[in-house]
A = this chain, B = another copy of it.
Amino acid sequence: MSDEASPMSVRTLSYVDAIREATDREMARDASVLLFGLDVDDPKAILGTTQGLVAKYGPERVFGTPLSEDAMTGAAIGMALAGLRPIHVHIRMDFVMLAMNQLVNMAAKSSYMFGGQQHVPLVVRSIIGKSWGQGAQHSQGLYPFFMHVPGLKVVAPSTPYDAKGCMSAAVRDDNPVMFVEHRILYYRQGPVPENDYQVEPGRARIAVAGSDVTLVGISYMQLECLRAQRYLESVGVSAEVIDPIWLAPLDVDTIVASARRTGRLVVVDNGWTTCGAGAEILAAVGEACAGGPAPSMQRMGFAPVPCPTTPSLEAAFYPNARTIAACAYDLVHGGAQGWLPAERDDLKSIEFKGPF
A interface residues, Cβ below 8 angstroms from B: 70, 94-95, 97-98, 100-101, 104-105, 108-109, 112-113, 135-137, 140, 142, 144-145, 147-151, 248, 271-287, 289-291, 293-294, 296-299, 304-306, 308, 331, 334-335
Contacts and interface: CB of A to CB of B under 8 A. Distances in A.
A274 B306 contact: no
11 contacts: A105-B136, A108-B306, A112-B306, A148-B275, A150-B306, A275-B275, A275-B276, A282-B282, A282-B283, A283-B297, A289-B294
B147 A274 contact: yes
A276 B112 CA distance: 21
Contacts of A277: 275
A275 B142 contact: no
Nearest to A288: B297
Contacts of A109: 136-137, 306
Contacts of A151: 305-306
Contact of A280 (B149, B274, B305): B274
Contacts of A105: 94, 97, 136-137
Given A97-B104, A142-B148, A145-B148, 18 more contacts: A95-B101, A97-B105, A105-B137, A112-B305, A112-B308, A144-B148, A145-B145, A148-B275, A148-B276, A275-B276, A275-B277, A282-B287, A283-B283, A283-B297, A283-B299, A287-B297, A289-B294, A294-B294
